[in-house]
Amino acid sequence: MSDISVVIPLYQDGDTIEACVQAVLAQEPAPREIIVVDNGSSDRGPSHVARLAEAHSSVRLIHEPVPGPAAARNRGWREARSSFVAFVDADCLAESGWLQGIRDAFTTPQVGLVGGRIRGCKPRSAVEKALAITSTQDPRPPYEVYRYAFVRGGLPSGNLAARVATLLEIDGFDVHFRIGEDHDLCARAARAGWTLRFAPDAGVVHCNYDNVRGQIRQSFGYGRAHAHLFRHHADGEWIVAIPRRIWSVRPAPGRAWLALETPGKIILGSLLASWISPWFLLLLAGYIFHYARSTRRLLELHSLAASGLEFAKIIACRATRALAMDAGRLVGSLRYRVVCL
């Protein structure tokens, strides 16, 4: 037993929550408690957890009526009886040594937040493979300090741990964020002087889903969250991103973020420019070739194979997700009155 509680927000994850809890129960040493916070599920997820709670005294099921993952996580850490709390999503499976890797990362009293690896599970379909190669969290060394920067983002709450003292100081997750609440938390913790660390030995596996509509909705939400986060945390900064390079001007009047490196903008810009000169179509062809090569490299990096029609579907899925994120940024820019495109 140790001084760490695990919090799992639950909403319509009845197919995966039992395996998620079992993976946490298998950790050595075990957590002090596992708190599953049901956020209004209408499936069988809560009943699965209730059955586990009867068999394991360390498992607790509580209910949070306020919708949203931020509210669920806040309810969980405030109910915790430990000085540290680890968050994992209900559709993730903690790997062996996950909890020990988190403990080892809290090396000094200044470390307030710790994030670990997120890998995709072994995908089968083209849609699942496209998600697996674009949704991992694996920063490169050095791992000692994860310096928060707006463009890089924060540590995702699907595999995130915190000192309760840190959460108390910054008042936990902001419930106004339905998506991006984890990056907002990291920004506020860094601003308050806490150190953020990445723990390469604390890994979870994310269960991918074969659902194009769900991926589009998620990517659109991420794009909209970028604008929300930008309004809160990038005052007096201009950011321009092109392929392989990012410029940041600070201090600057107002705020603006132009992500010109996204596939949608490059393709649209090349098509518009071709009205001026057809030579831009050659640039477009070169970019499409580059995009296909980068997709192939990502598949190889994740030990995945694809050819022919399946490979074309993966490229299409990646591009569709990028376009959905661009659309989300546009809507978010209008909603939050910022330039985040």
Boundaries of every domain in the chain? 4-206, 212-340
Mean pLDDT of the chain: 87
Span 262-290, pLDDT tens digits: 888 888 888 888 888 888 888 888 888 98
CA dist., res. 38 & res. 228, Å (int): 26
Strands 245-249, 237-242: pairing kind: antiparallel
Which distant-in-sequence residues (6+ apart) come within 8 Å of 288 by Cβ? 267
CATH number for the domain whose boundaries are 4-206:
3.90.550.10
pTM: 0.87
Average confidence (pLDDT) over 155-162: 92
Q: Does residue 127 have a pLDDT over 70?
A: yes
- Name the residue among 340, 298, 281 with its Cα closest to residue 130: 298
Strands 237-242, 255-259: pairing kind: parallel
Characterise 183 by phi-psi region: left (phi > 0), alpha (psi -120 to 50), beta (else). Answer: alpha
CA dist., res. 145 & res. 73, Å (int): 24
Q: Which strand (E) or helix (H) includes residue 183?
A: helix 181-191
Name the least confident of 47-56, 183-192, 250-259, 326-335.
250-259
Average confidence (pLDDT) over 228-245: 81
pLDDT at 161: 96
Task: To the nearest 10°, report the CA torsion of 142, 238, 328, 233.
Answer: 70
Long-range pairs for 164-168: beta carbons < 8 A, 24 or more residues apart: 164/77, 164/80, 164/82, 164/83, 164/84, 164/85, 165/83, 165/112, 166/112, 166/113, 166/192, 166/194, 167/77, 167/85
Q: Is residue 291 helix, strand or coil?
A: helix
pLDDT at 208: 66
pLDDT at 135: 63
